[in-house]
């Protein structure tokens, strides 16, 4: 479901332009000893711009989903 949310970043953040993403990957790592979950979101595009906002939205939504469960 996160692949549906990440492209909507421009709808969530003011002045953020919509990008055609060529790749989205989300990884989770449960660190039992530290009682934490590491979430990593990687995005890429062929455009001449960064995709840091899309990656932040993806990681944030993944973390909120884990917290909710």
62 neighbors 26 (Cβ within 8 angstroms): yes
Residue 25 appears among annotated catalytic residues: no
Cα–Cα dist 50/28, whole Å: 23
How far from 5 is each of 31, 49, 55, 62, CA to CA, in Å?
26, 19, 11, 10
Which of these is catalytic: 48, 49, 68, 69?
68
List the catalytic residues: 68
């Amino acid at each position: 479901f996160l692949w549906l949310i990440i492209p909507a970043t421009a709808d969530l953040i003011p002045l953020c332009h919509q990008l055609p993403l060529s790749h989205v990957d989300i990884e989770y790592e449960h660190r039992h000893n530290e009682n934490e979950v590491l979430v990593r979101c990687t995005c890429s595009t062929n455009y001449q711009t960064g995709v840091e906002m899309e990656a932040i939205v993806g990681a944030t939504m993944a973390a909120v989903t884990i917290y909710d469960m």
